Amino acid sequence: MNEFIMGIDPGKHGAISLLKCDDCSIELIEDMPLLSDGNVDYKKLYESLNRFSTFVDHVFIEHITAVFGRGSIATCSLCGNYQALIALSIACSMTVMSVTPQLWKRYFGLIGVPKDESRLLAIQYFPEHAEFFSRKKDNDRAESCLIGMYGLSLL
């Protein structure tokens, strides 16, 4: 096993976290790179993934499916990001494991609770990096770390 694993929240405002395998500490958190028009910058995303490909074996990405009430354009965008992340990770020779929100959220007791609870939980797990999760909108960063932690528990 390599030294790190990666957890990814694939949303447009998602994030990528790099966690050490031996102690599950945060090495890096990056927000999803965006173009000036607000769309994901896939070139920068590939560069970010490729930069860590020699240290990372496994990438854990939250599985995306259609959700009742989410608009069709938002669903297409989210599914597109998800598929692009899988393809780019594979292109970087990393093993991709897709995890459903139900699985990783159940693991952390986050089913049916407000989205902000994941941010608060990440602060508890990573108090030395609380600044990464200080704003309400940092819940995607938190979720990328929790997805990575869940993935590490599967190895």
For 55-91, what is each residue's pLDDT tens digit?
998 999 999 865 555 555 554 566 678 888 999 999 9
pLDDT at residue number 149: 97
pLDDT at residue number 70: 56
pLDDT at residue number 66: 57
pLDDT at residue number 44: 95
Parallel, antiparallel, or unpaired for β 4-9 and 15-20? antiparallel
Give all strands of the β-sheet with 56-62 in edge-to-edge order. 26-31, 15-20, 4-9, 56-62, 95-99
Residue with tokens 């528990």: 153
Architecture in CATH for domain 4-154: 2-Layer Sandwich (3.30)
The domain limits of the chain are 4-154
Q: Could you read off the pLDDT of 140-149 as tens digits, one per residue?
A: 999 999 999 9
Written as six digits, the tokens of 12 are 């447009």
Residue 19 has pLDDT above 90, yes or no: yes
